[in-house]
Amino acid sequence: MLTILLAALDQTIVATALPAIVGELRGFNELSWVVSAYLIATTVTIPLYGKLSDIHGRRRMMLIAISVFLLGSLLCGVAQSMGQLIAFRIIQGIGAGGLIPLAQAAIADLVPPRDRGRYQGFVGAVWAVAAIAGPLLGGTLTDAASWRWIFLINLPVGAIAMLVIARTMPAPRQRAEHQLDLLGAATLTVATTCLLLASVWGGTTYGWDSPQILGLGATGVLFIGAFIAVEQRAPEPLLPLRLFRIGIFSVSSAASFILGALLFGVTIYVPLFVQGVQGGSATNAGAVLIPLAFAWVLISTISGQLISRFGRYRPFPIAGGVVTIAGVSLLASLGADDSRTQVAVALTVIGCGMGLMWQPYIVATQNRVAMREVGVATSGLVFFRSMGGSLAVAVLGTILANRLATELVAELGEAGRTVDPNRLFDGSNEIGVELLDGVQEALAASLHTVFLVLVPLAVAALALALALQEKPLARTHEERDSA
């Protein structure tokens, strides 16, 4: 739980500080990179941590992951340029790749499937607590001190987590003999990195039809093919392809991808709306996310208890899909004149939907796969969730940058071409009162497009929930393995 808190706190605390980071380091066009660089590094290392933990044990790999994460956090806290910050976020992401999947796998080691819904509800509660504390803490630290403290705050939390894990988590009685699929890890890393870079650079740094983007896309597709070929022949594959023949795992993987995209699409760009459009502070932007987190923790805890009590999980993501569609639709309807109360209502509805959907897919997958593959299967779901978040941040960032350039000209004419969006967030008031209303209208229209893209993603989440199969939850590990 402490490890999940560490990872979740970092993901939620950064969002409200992004405008301040952009203002100080002058990097509006690189805004998505602060998140994307972290997510790329996280995404490509998740499957590797899952496999390494099956070999060396959860405790050892968790301690290594936290150590790397804290090193990256320290470096981020002292970064002097946007380039340095992005590079240090990669180091932080390499450590973060092991935090959530290893903690989830450890729960699966300790708790039988029938009782796991209750514990997954606790996990959802930790996420929601981080979603409340993170934005508030991030906004308060940014306003009262500096955005650098949003990274440095990880150090004491991480130290406590390492101490508790080292003293209380049981080590494996003997080292398991496994082969590490290094070739699979290398091909998956290249494929994922190329596709994510194409998403981040496409339409902003380079045109979509440029040789750079086409080359990255082609290389990514080529290495996906290479990864599939390697995994078919590997004695112990990094991500066993046979798992995709299990309907529950396939549906859960696709749903995790969509949920990651929805989560990051909301938590990264809603604070931008509050600060850039509504003129709120970083603390205001953090406070507006509290309804999402409160609804999430309440519904996640209740649904987890109900899953354990009745042994059924399928109704919850279906209901969550319907609710999330309603919430995202409310978010997409917001304009420059709407109040923070209207934003809070939309986020409350989204929080209820996400609280219903977030955990059942992990419970369903861990209940279906063999015990020896729980680690790699859980890592697979977290990998797809992180991949969805990475692509969402990159693509939505591209949409925002392109739409804003167009909307500025539409609102301000030729004067819009000279407006520096960084000035909205650095507190300098250099845009000028005569242009400010037009700039805020342009940003509101651009973010409207971003939120509108989330609606079909919510529809896809509902479709996947309807496709999820129901398999009775086993009361013990032995019952699950004999099923």
Domain coordinates in residue numbering, the chain: 2-180+236-482, 181-235
What angle do the packed helices 340-357 and 113-144 form, to 10 degrees?
A: 150
Q: How far, in Å, CA of 374 to CA of 380, rounded? A: 10
Residue with tokens 């989204």: 350
> Could you read off the pLDDT of 372-383 as tens digits, one per residue?
777 778 878 888
Confidence band for 421, pLDDT divided at 50, 70 and 90: low
Q: How far, in Å, CA of 157 to CA of 194, rounded? A: 33
Tokens of 310: 């009745």
Q: Chain-wide mean pLDDT for the chain?
A: 82
Tokens of 428: 């300098």
* Residues, the chain: 483
Helix (H, G, I), strand (E, B) or coil at 359: coil
The pLDDT value recorded for residue 385 is: 86
Q: How far, in Å, CA of 233 to CA of 230, rounded? A: 5
The pLDDT value recorded for residue 482 is: 53
Tokens of 320: 């969550």
Q: Are 379 and 256 in contact (CB under 8 A)?
A: no
Using the predicted structure, report yes or no on whether residue 26 has a pLDDT greater than 90. no
> Could you read off the pLDDT of 83-99 as tens digits, one per residue?
888 889 999 999 988 88
Residue type, 286: G
Q: Tell me, which fold does domain 2-180+236-482 have in CATH?
A: Growth Hormone; Chain: A; (1.20.1250)
The conformational region for residue 315 under phi > 0 = left, psi -120 to 50 = alpha, else beta, is alpha
Using the predicted structure, report yes or no on whether residue 198 has a pLDDT greater than 80. yes
Residue with tokens 């591209």: 398
The pLDDT value recorded for residue 28 is: 62
Using the predicted structure, report yes or no on whether residue 209 has a pLDDT greater than 60. yes
Confidence band for 54, pLDDT divided at 50, 70 and 90: confident
Q: Are 126 and 31 in contact (CB under 8 A)?
A: no
The pLDDT value recorded for residue 241 is: 86
Q: How far, in Å, CA of 335 to CA of 329, rounded? A: 13
Q: How far, in Å, CA of 372 to CA of 382, rounded? A: 17
Nearest to 478 by CA among 371, 384, 404: 371
Query: At a CB cut-off of 8 Å and minimum separation 6, what does 328 contact?
Result: 262, 266, 346, 350, 451, 454, 455, 457, 458
The pLDDT value recorded for residue 404 is: 84
> Could you read off the pLDDT of 277-328 as tens digits, one per residue?
887 776 777 778 788 888 887 888 888 888 888 888 999 999 999 999 999 9
* Ordered DSSP codes for 454-468: HHHHHHHHHHHHHHP
